[in-house]
Amino acid sequence: MKRGLVALGDSITHGDGEPMLDVHCQSWAQWLAEALALPFTNLAVDGGQAGDVLREQVPRLAGPYDVGCLYTGVNDARDPAWDAAAYTRDLEAVLAALVPACDLVLVCTVPEDLGRPTAAPKPVAANAIVRAAAQRAGARIVALDDFAGAAWTLPDAVHATAAGQVEIARRALAASGLESHAPLPQADRSPGALRRWRRRRARLGLQDRRRLAVERWRR
């Protein structure tokens, strides 16, 4: 018996976050599992880099699974000590374990407009590595290169909003080629709901500006 859908990655795939426009926040991989009517196992851990996924999450795989989801590289690309060779090595090792354990593996690219201050140009380099590694491993790509903006990301330009999590799930579903058994949620875009979200986002933006100020002061 297969074990449904398994997800590996960092805080984005772990799925905690802000509700938005009457959409509660949960992992994009959980939305995908629900759309596919599959049991869900989430091994993702906040703050994880590809090396952490390899050391801490891969040993917990207990397949076979129908679908495997991997989204790692955001924290690698944001790290001042970014090491493309190490990222390549760790990503390939994760895929070498994940692909044989799953009927289908989906791998996300990294948003190019990542982080405040921006992580550019490292996300572009990371995406070239992701695409090459996925092609070699026989995994399918969930393209998030253009994933950006107030509808989909929080003011830190890293973490997804609730609507952003749904958008990643939508793209993953399309990349999978599998049949959906349940619709993904739709945001409430009534004037009242939009006003509430704009107020909440403004408060989150203020918190993020304070974070940036503290980080600059500590340097």
The pLDDT confidence band at residue 16, using thresholds 50, 70 and 90, is: confident
3-state secondary structure of 71: strand
pLDDT reading at 211 higher than 70: no
Place of tokens 């772990």: 14
The closest alpha carbon to 78, from 44, 104, 132, 114, belongs to 114
List pLDDT tens digits, range 171-200.
999 999 999 999 898 766 677 666 776 777
Using a 10 angstrom Cβ sphere, with 0-12 exposed, 13-18 middle and 19 or more buried, the burial of residue 219 is: exposed
**Residue 70, domain CATH:** 3.40.50.1110
Q: What's the predicted TM-score (pTM) here?
A: 0.89
Q: Which residues pair with 108 in a beta bridge?
A: 142
CA separation for the pair 218, 115 (Å, rounded): 18
Between 158 and 18, whose confidence is greater? 158
pLDDT reading at 212 higher than 60: no
115 backbone φψ class: left, alpha, beta (φ>0; ψ -120 to 50): left
Domain residue limits at 145? 5-218
Name residues whose C-beta falls within 8 Å of residue 74's C-beta, 6 or more positions apart in sequence. 10, 12, 110, 111, 114, 158
CA separation for the pair 42, 15 (Å, rounded): 9
Number of domains in the chain: 1
The pLDDT confidence band at residue 87, using thresholds 50, 70 and 90, is: very high
The closest alpha carbon to 56, from 43, 65, 68, belongs to 43
